[in-house]
Amino acid sequence: MNEEHPRFGIRARHTDSTITVYQAYGPRIGRPAARHGRFTSSWSRTRMTWIKPSFLWMMYRCGWGTKKDQETVLAVEISREGFVWALRNSCLSHHVPVLHGDAETWRSALRRAPARVQWDPERDLRLNPLPHRSLQLGLAGEAAERYADEWIVGIEDVTPLATEVHALVREGELGRAAALLPEERAYPLNDDVLGHLRA
């Protein structure tokens, strides 16, 4: 196993008190959120919202901010306490017998959990899949409410950064593109936080 990139590890931009996650929305939602530093009434609290600590996985998901209703890329800084709460209260989005036992036990846990986790291949600058996984964290119900009202420290519109990095990648300037990426370091978590989520 690659010690720098464990298969189910979390890498993120983080400080002693916060972690940065990414989301992409249409301008109607994304621009007011960046302007006010929190989500406004145009943001739905009743839908599951997915947050991603990996900038490049977000670029893969939103097509560098070119996909419809994902043109505004947001870097959302949230409290580490909130992030850990979400992980502790998450269920994997797919059934893993060694973790969950039978499928009905997993389905019951999934229905109760206010958050869910899936692990997808991390991406390189050309958005090709890498061997290690990237965390996607879905928030609904209580988790979405806490995210919007308690955890958010700040929101930044990083669409210009996405556009600039994408342009350099298209020009084959991968070194210059990599130099602009947010610094994502291993995010230390104990087994009691991640143990039930390592697929």
* Range from 91-95, 159-163, 168-172, 183-187 carrying the lowest mean pLDDT: 91-95
- Considering the entire predicted model, what is its pTM? 0.93
Specify whether the backbone of 141 is left (phi greater than 0), alpha (psi in -120 to 50) or beta: left
Decide if 80 contacts 150 (C-beta within 8 A).
no
- pLDDT for 104-161, tens place per residue? 888 887 889 999 999 999 999 999 999 999 999 999 999 999 999 999 999 999 999 9
The span from the CA of 108 to the CA of 163, in Å, is: 42
Tokens of 98: 């060694």
* Beta-strand pair 115-123/90-92: parallel
Q: Calculate mean pLDDT across residues 58-72.
A: 98
| Three-state secondary structure string covering 3-33 | CCCCCCCCEECECCCEEEEEEEECHHHHHHH
